[in-house]
Amino acid sequence: MINIVLADDHALVRQGLKQILLAQADLAVGGEAANHGEVMQLVRKSPPDVLVLDINMPGKNGIDTLKQVKQEFPRLPVLMLSMYPEDQYAVRALKAGASGYLTKMAAAEQLVDAIRIVARGRKYITPELAQSLADSLDRDPDVPPHELLSDREFQVLRLIASGRTLAQIGDDLALSPKTVSVYRARLLAKLRLASNAELTRYALTHQLVD
């Protein structure tokens, strides 16, 4: 029996995941967590066989939680689950110690297969993630990360660094705040940063704003 802890800040998401997993004879859900603190409390009390961890967690985000979990429990397989496509966070998650990465758009069968694979100590790599890993290996280390951004991503970076809010940026570029938020997430992933403050510091350091 594979014992699983589910970590997601949305109760409905956890309930849906739980129903999928409990339909399998070899899977059991031993705990649920809604934030970083609850994740750490659960794994410290009784380490599961697999931790399924959302990237968007209140308090500390999923990547930071992943790093702490792997620091304390290096052999615990962690499967990252996210609303973001593989090309935005997957490589970063694997480098931080994740055993696999799935989007929330994945089929239920993929989730079950991924859990079984990482529980055996293997990595779960989708074709999309394999491509992202290959792309990351091909990058010239001498090229600054911001030169790999799309034109729109570069615009959003400069506007964030100029102190504009997501709503203001949306007005400036005729985009919805949700779309601007997606661009911001891509920026954070591609530049390997964690906040608007770090984006601003990066832009100033590389003289990307006036």
- pLDDT tens string, the chain, 210 residues long: the values are 999 999 999 999 999 999 999 999 999 999 999 999 999 999 999 999 999 999 877 767 788 899 999 999 999 999 999 887 666 677 778 888 999 999 888 889 999 999 999 999 999 988 877 876 776 666 555 667 887 788 888 899 999 999 999 999 999 888 898 999 999 998 988 888 888 999 999 999 888 886
User: How far is the C-alpha of 107 from the C-alpha of 129, rounded, in Å?
Assistant: 16
* Closest to 181 (Cα-Cα) out of 112, 70, 98, 84: 84
Return the HEC string of the chain.
CEEEEEECCCHHHHHHHHHHHHCCCCEEEEEEECCHHHHHHHHHHCCCCEEEEECCCCCCCHHHHHHHHHHHCCCCCEEEEECCCHHHHHHHHHHCCCCEEEECCCCHHHHHHHHHHHHCCCCECCHHHHHHHHHHHHCCCCCCHHHHCCHHHHHHHHHHHCCCCHHHHHHHHCCCHHHHHHHHHHHHHHHCCCCHHHHHHHHHHCCCCC
Question: Residue ranges of the domains in the chain?
Answer: 2-136, 145-205
Q: Which pair of tokens denotes residue 124?
A: 């779960």
Architecture of domain 145-205: Orthogonal Bundle (1.10)
* 153-156-162 Cα angle (round to 5): 145
pTM over 0.75: no
Which of the listed CATH numbers 3.40.50.620, 3.40.50.2300, 3.40.470.10, 3.40.390.10 matches domain 2-136?
A: 3.40.50.2300
